[in-house]
Structure 1
Amino acid sequence: MAHSPVQSAGNSPAKTALTAGQTYAWCACGRSATQPFCDGSHQGTGIDPVVFTAEADADVWLCLCKRTHSAPTCDGSHKKQPGNE
């Protein structure tokens, strides 16, 4: 099944405080108004959020460019986009 194009939600990651044991849904489509988390805007796109449970209370860097290879965390892919070198 084909899906809609993924949209970048930013050119840098979002520092996010996570709570141990809490479940989160990271926006994978880039359309959510509550970045970096899903607000349901992906409906009908064929793109699903990445659901995960925090293992510890921690600040993490969640991807906003949506090109990470280690979703939901940033892997530096935003640095490889034109204009960010």
Structure 2
Amino acid sequence: MSSTVNQMDQERKRSQAPATVKRVDGASTNIGDSQDHVHFTDGSALKRDGTWKHGPERNLSREERKWLIDKHGWTSPAKK
């Protein structure tokens, strides 16, 4: 099951997301952002399909992986 950006951001606001999640943004086609994505506190951002939007490509922590992939149905990024 894939959750909406709003559901995920509400979890973040209630501290039910990993502390490393800074914000969750929806796709914005007017600026070429064709996918939902999550921003992390280290400056990286991951798209829903598992590709990195910007920042350092890195392995997700166990907590990030559980929240994004297991709970919200995002695609896992390739491991480094």
TM-score (ref. length: structure 2) = 0.25
Q: Whose helix proportion is higher, 1 or 2?
A: 2
Higher relative contact order (CA 8 A, sep 6+): 1
Give the number of the structure whose alpha-carbon radius of gyration is greater. 1
